[in-house]
Structure 1
Amino acid sequence: MKGKMADIKVIDAALEKILPRFGVSALKKEQRSILDAMIEGKDCMAILPTGFGKSLPFQVYIPLMREMNPGFSAVILVCCPLVALMQDQVKKISAVPGISAAYKGLSEESDRQILSGEIDVIYASPESLISNAVWREDMKKLNVQNIVIDEFHTIATWGEDRMGLKKQAFRKWFSHVGELRSLFPKASVIALSATSTVKIQKRVSKQLSFGPNTVEIVMSPNKANIKYSISKVSSDLEMAMSWLVDGIQHLQSDFPKTLLYCSSINDVSKLYTYLIKELDGTSPLIEMFHSETPIGKKTEIVNCLNDKNNTSKIRLVICTTALGMGIDVSHCNSVILFGIPENIVDLVQEIGRIGRDGESSIALILFNAYHLRRLDKSMKDILRSPTCRRINIMKQFLSESNLSELEQDVKKHTCCDVCHKLCSCGNCEYLSLERLFEQSVISNSDSNEAEDSFGSSDNDFLDGTLDLNSCYV
């Protein structure tokens, strides 16, 4: 059946039986387009917003094919960037009857099951799939019918020279993902991402050898319910984050669930230590998450963030991008970026972790003089611009026509801090986290005025000992 579109009525009838297992009644139009491409054996590049459900089509695929053809036998290989993401996906798939999933390195037994063809959806990192020669050869024996490149933008942002900054690739094997085509020449490739600039799309398409018949599905990464607010803060940690201490101390368990992204493990550790020291007795409200966090603790934090009933005690998770792509964060409408990411894709990714329920949300983007030193001109321009933050960010993702539509749709007081100041509706309101920060800005206005936004002689971030070579996730 692969390579030839099955009768639409047959597919629809099979989907009606399969989808309830996944807790949905129907696929969205874009999800169905991905699934149809898989059935037809076509390559596909899909860029869909965070929380949209990009993974559902390939998760549905094998049970669907078995429903239509009981003798169907094949596996799906998912090249995935983060262990936390693999864990989250495997957990969800494993709860669905009639389909199995595992990731390379979960256990010796699961690795054996993968290589023996007992696992339907196999997750693995580029390092496992490409650099590990033994694993690579053993995998070639499997009937891999589809290769999914999850979060494909990491091919450019992690696998190359850090988005043109002439820095060593963060994880070089991401730039070799295209080699999977030679390992499984008959497999179609499905590339998925929530955030990809037009330039990255072209670079990844070339690396994955996508041709003119590739199915392309592109939606704007803009999430209108998230307000952007960008501010420069003091390089002194206590001055920069005293408002956060006051807010948690005052609100305790009523503090809005918040993700606080830092650019390195070093930053996460120092900020966590500072907050715990200042908030003696409230440590259950705060956790930290990075690549070196023990697996058990990672699982505990992810489960709390996934809690649909919102009963978790955790109010603030200080993290790196290790807590990110593809992880479902429920009832979270506040994010703080302490330091600007090096590229626009990571910026939108981190912001996109929140607001998945469609409720009004706030993204506070805070930076100091040290953070500016490692940014390229394009990122500094976003900070400097006196015009709408949203338009300046989204112009790298949207066509001119889509950008023009966005400009017409922008709602001033819920768009960004720049638009808020220009709004004359008289009904502007601050969200809880935004209000806490704005109150601190007002109270510290005299000291803030002494610092020039981009020409300050601030000391290095925190205590001046931040390790420039510290791990970024």
Structure 2
Amino acid sequence: MLRKLADVDREVENVLKRFGIPCLKQEQRTILNCLIQNRDCVAVLPTGFGKSLPFQLYLPVKRALVGDNSYGKVIVCCPLVSLMQDQVNKLTSLGLVTAAFRCKDKETDELIEAGEVDIIYTSPESLVGDSHWRSTIQRLNVTAIVVDEFHTIATWGGLEADEEGKVFRKWLRHLGEIRSLYPGASLLALSATCTKTIKRRVTDVLGLKDYDFITMSPHKTNIKYIVKKVDPQIESSMIWILDIIRQMKENFPHMPKIEELIEMYHSETSEEKKKKAIENLTNDSLLRVVVATSALGMGVNVATCHNVIRYGPPKSAVDFLQETGRDGRDGQHSCAILLFHGHQLRNVDQDIKDFLKSTECRRLQLLKPFLSDEELRSVQSTSTGQHVCCDICEQICSCQSCSFTVMEKAVKNLPFVDDILESSGSDSDSDTISYEYDSGDDLNNDTN
């Protein structure tokens, strides 16, 4: 039996001290209340907001309230291994709960199956695609299920019910089956981006009918959007980044070697290098440039990242907002730069084509699938027409005090390539997105 509200407040405050956080934001507290009261919840909150904190607090708070140190387990289903690793490491360092992700190693899997792990991280492929493991963990007392990055149910699992044979990761479209495994558990779905179409698809897949919906605009005022059409040769399109670092080296001769400032992160990167890259990104380090595919993960907390450069357009506006969302999490002025050439446009959605060919504010164009007309008018009145909004608004800015970062200046000086959409129908090149899993991989054993 739960005690009165004052008891809940006190226990939340006690647990927050261990996290080093003074208080919860209103939306975070609402999510936590849903979990404590066993209600389903869908939360769409900006990147860097702290969406994961409520479910990480849930077990310590609930156990204190019910007086049972063994109360319940939480399953977190996430499509990104790097994100799971990041959260497991943080929770393990705090020591409030035990956390692990399946497929790390045989010993960890055995601990999970024995009920020794409080917060169990797993991929969709493991959770619903592995029938043996699913039946093994069904006996655990799971009281809450978290579906993280839920937009991937639609973007990677497909918007239509009849797309089974051509989707990127088919088990995302079957996540609703977990409700039958734990019918008494509450379900929390989290994402930073969600269009109306995606919301309908996700709630249908997950069987959500009566649920709390918490949302905030994905509009981040500190991110400037810049688009540049570049030469199809990737070497000539990206060499300018090295030129910037070399210039820094000349101005500061005591800087480390260039190779110490740059790291690679992709599906073939060794586990040791992946771990080191994540540590360097989330801590104060010399690392300045990471060349990565989406194997790096959408939710890794890189607090001091102020430039995200994407070579090749994403498939959709949802993907672009997710990828650039790790930019400027500290609130400082930041840039989201999209470099592309026409051959890469044949497989992208119309919302990205509209973003690229826009002759007016790119920010407004990017946010159209996510905001109401009233919300868009609010964005227009506060952001557009300023040099910190986008490369188009920069041209009409009248502030008389425009200033640009080193990165912005470098992009402005790139050779101009005309005719933005002239090659959009060409079949000579495919989109350059590289995802974490390939349809031919053994997904249950992948650790990318």
With the length of structure 1 as denominator, give the TM-score of the two structures: 0.86
**Which letter does structure 2 place at the counterpart of 1:435?**
K
Q: What is the aligned counterpart of 1:341 among 305, 314, 317?
A: 314
**Contact kept in structure 1, 2:98 and 2:117, CA below 8 Å:** yes
Verify: 1:427 aligned to 2:391, yes or no: no
Q: Secondary structure at the match of 2:82?
A: helix
Matched ranges for 1:147-226 at <5 A:
147-160=145-158, 168-211=166-209, 213-226=210-223
Q: 1:385 to 1:341 in 2, by over 3 A?
A: same
Instruction: Please report how far the alpha carbon of residue 161 of structure 1 lies from its aligned counterpart in structure 2 after TM superposition.
Output: 6.3
Q: What is the aligned counterpart of 1:69 among 66, 69, 72?
A: 66
Partner of 1:282: 258
Verify: 1:362 aligned to 2:335, yes or no: yes
Partner of 1:19: 16
Matched ranges for 1:14-413 at <5 A:
14-72=11-69, 73-160=71-158, 168-211=166-209, 213-252=210-249, 282-307=258-283, 310=284, 312-411=285-384, 412-413=386-387
Q: What does the per-residue CA deviation read over 1:255-292, in whole Å, with 9 as the maximum and x for residues that have no partner?
A: 9xxxxxxxxxxxxxxxxxxxxxxxxx622222111123
Q: 1:171 to 1:459 in 2, by over 3 A?
A: closer
Root-mean-square deviation (CA, aligned residues, Å) is 2.4
The count of corresponding residues between Structure 1 and Structure 2 is 430
Q: 1:132 to 1:356 in 2, by over 3 A?
A: same
**Contact kept in structure 2, 1:324 and 1:349, CA below 8 Å:** no
**Which letter does structure 1 place at the counterpart of 2:224?**
K
Partner of 2:442: none
CA distance in 1, matches of 2:216, 2:305: 23
Instruction: Please report how far the alpha carbon of residue 139 of structure 1 lies from its aligned counterpart in structure 2 after TM superposition.
Output: 0.9
**Contact kept in structure 2, 1:161 and 1:168, CA below 8 Å:** no
**Contact kept in structure 2, 1:22 and 1:96, CA below 8 Å:** yes
CA distance in 2, matches of 1:66, 1:356: 32
CA distance in 1, matches of 2:317, 2:131: 34
Q: 1:200 to 1:456 in 2, by over 3 A?
A: closer
**Contact kept in structure 2, 1:163 and 1:343, CA below 8 Å:** no
Instruction: Please report how far the alpha carbon of residue 162 of structure 1 lies from its aligned counterpart in structure 2 after TM superposition.
Output: 9.6
Q: 1:361 to 1:247 in 2, by over 3 A?
A: same
**Contact kept in structure 2, 1:252 and 1:285, CA below 8 Å:** no
CA distance in 1, matches of 2:149, 2:218: 13
**Contact kept in structure 1, 2:265 and 2:295, CA below 8 Å:** yes
Runs of at least 5 residues in structure 1 that lack an aligned partner in the other structure:
256-280
Q: 1:458 to 1:249 in 2, by over 3 A?
A: farther
**Contact kept in structure 1, 2:8 and 2:65, CA below 8 Å:** yes
Instruction: Please report how far the alpha carbon of residue 384 of structure 1 lies from its aligned counterpart in structure 2 after TM superposition.
Output: 0.9
CA distance in 2, matches of 1:286, 1:253: 17
Q: What does the per-residue CA deviation read over 1:290-319, in whole Å, with 9 as the maximum and x for residues that have no partner?
A: 123222111110110001xx3x22211111
**Which letter does structure 1 place at the counterpart of 2:57?**
V
**Contact kept in structure 2, 1:235 and 1:459, CA below 8 Å:** no
CA distance in 1, matches of 2:108, 2:76: 15
Partner of 1:274: none
**Contact kept in structure 1, 2:40 and 2:212, CA below 8 Å:** yes
Instruction: Please report how far the alpha carbon of residue 410 of structure 1 lies from its aligned counterpart in structure 2 after TM superposition.
Output: 1.0
**Contact kept in structure 1, 2:345 and 2:431, CA below 8 Å:** no
Runs of at least 5 residues in structure 2 that lack an aligned partner in the other structure:
437-448
CA distance in 1, matches of 2:363, 2:135: 47
Partner of 2:444: none
Q: What does the per-residue CA deviation read over 1:302-338, in whole Å, with 9 as the maximum and x for residues that have no partner?
A: 110001xx3x222111111111322000211011011
CA distance in 2, matches of 1:151, 1:429: 36
CA distance in 1, matches of 2:81, 2:91: 15
Instruction: Please report how far the alpha carbon of residue 107 of structure 1 lies from its aligned counterpart in structure 2 after TM superposition.
Output: 2.1
**Contact kept in structure 2, 1:382 and 1:393, CA below 8 Å:** yes
**Which letter does structure 2 place at the counterpart of 1:387?**
E
Partner of 1:263: none
CA distance in 2, matches of 1:417, 1:468: 23
- The percent of aligned pairs where both chains have the same amino acid is 44
Verify: 1:454 aligned to 2:421, yes or no: yes
Q: 1:154 to 1:254 in 2, by over 3 A?
A: farther
**Contact kept in structure 1, 2:346 and 2:431, CA below 8 Å:** no
Q: 1:247 to 1:471 in 2, by over 3 A?
A: closer
Q: What does the per-residue CA deviation read over 1:179-202, in whole Å, with 9 as the maximum and x for residues that have no partner?
A: 100111111100000111121011
Partner of 1:258: none
Q: What does the per-residue CA deviation read over 1:42-91, in whole Å, with 9 as the maximum and x for residues that have no partner?
A: 10000011011101001001111122222251000100111111110100
CA distance in 1, matches of 2:314, 2:399: 33
CA distance in 2, matches of 1:123, 1:198: 28
CA distance in 2, matches of 1:318, 1:165: 32
Moved more, 49-58 or 324-333: 324-333
